């Protein structure tokens, strides 16, 4: 190893005096080994500088929170499932609901008052078509119709052994929907 090699790095860093630097330059021109060393040291400098830049860039770059890719993946998976398995529509069973029944309540009123001036709303008519059986049944409904009929045998009216002999009848009791007694009839 020649004597100039220990000064090479200081020479590269421009830390030598002008006189010493000139001596190193003259030596390098004719020393192959020192030129090779000089190239190696410059390569180390360059790589070290790039490494420091890389460390800084990696540390100062904005970091994405860990939950962001997880959430994004979950959303993509949910979207894929939605596309693969489209939503199936659940049809309600054809059962008359209380709402429909209530909507049909005004119908008998309309039927019973044909002299009403205003025509029935179109929407009501459409509903009548949909729930046609219910509408027909409601149209035939009569408020005065008997709601309950009860047949009471004569022996049920007396205490055991108290019924007079020769008496045998059945009392039929008709009760109106409003609770009033509509008719009492006795039959043999």
Binding site for other proteins (CB under 8 A): 6, 9-10, 13, 15, 40-41, 43-45, 47-61
The smaller minimum CB distance to other proteins, of residues 36 and 183, is found at 36
Question: Residue 92 CB, nearest distance to other proteins (Å)?
Answer: 56
The smaller minimum CB distance to other proteins, of residues 52 and 150, is found at 52
Count Cβ atoms below 10 Å from residue 174 Cβ, excluding itself: 15
The smaller minimum CB distance to other proteins, of residues 13 and 25, is found at 13
Between CA 18 and CA 8 the distance in angstroms is: 14
At which residue do the structure tokens 């008998």 appear? 108
Show Cβ contacts of residue 104 under 8 Å, excluding neighbours closer than 6 positions. 127, 128, 131, 134, 135, 138
Residue 108 to residues 43, 95, 132, 139, 157, Cα–Cα distance (Å): 102, 21, 13, 5, 40
The smaller minimum CB distance to other proteins, of residues 61 and 123, is found at 61
Question: Residue 80 CB, nearest distance to other proteins (Å)?
Answer: 27
Taking a C-beta distance cutoff of 8 angstroms, is the pair 172, 185 a contact?
Answer: yes
Diameter of the chain by CA atoms? 159
Taking a C-beta distance cutoff of 8 angstroms, is the pair 29, 11 a contact?
Answer: no
The smaller minimum CB distance to other proteins, of residues 3 and 118, is found at 3
At which residue do the structure tokens 């049809």 appear? 91
Question: Residue 3 CB, nearest distance to other proteins (Å)?
Answer: 14
Question: Residue 30 CB, nearest distance to other proteins (Å)?
Answer: 22
Question: Residue 22 CB, nearest distance to other proteins (Å)?
Answer: 19
């Amino acid at each position: 190893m020649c004597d100039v090699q220990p000064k090479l790095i200081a020479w590269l860093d421009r830390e030598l005096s002008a006189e010493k630097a000139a001596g190193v330059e003259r030596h390098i021109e004719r020393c192959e080994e020192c030129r090779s060393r000089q190239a190696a040291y410059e390569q180390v400098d360059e790589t070290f500088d790039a490494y420091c830049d890389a460390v800084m860039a990696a540390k100062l770059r904005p970091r994405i929170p860990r939950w962001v890719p997880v959430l994004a993946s979950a959303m993509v998976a949910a979207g894929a499932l939605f596309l693969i398995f489209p939503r199936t529509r659940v049809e309600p069973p054809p059962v008359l609901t209380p709402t429909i029944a209530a909507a049909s309540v005004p119908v008998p009123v309309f039927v019973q008052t044909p002299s009403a001036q205003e025509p029935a709303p179109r929407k009501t008519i459409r509903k009548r078509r949909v729930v046609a059986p219910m509408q027909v049944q409601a149209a035939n409904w009569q408020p005065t119709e008997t709601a309950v009929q009860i047949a009471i045998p004569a022996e049920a009216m007396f205490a055991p052994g108290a019924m007079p002999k020769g008496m045998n009848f059945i009392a039929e009791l008709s009760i109106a929907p409003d609770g009033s007694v509509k008719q009492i009839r006795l039959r043999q």
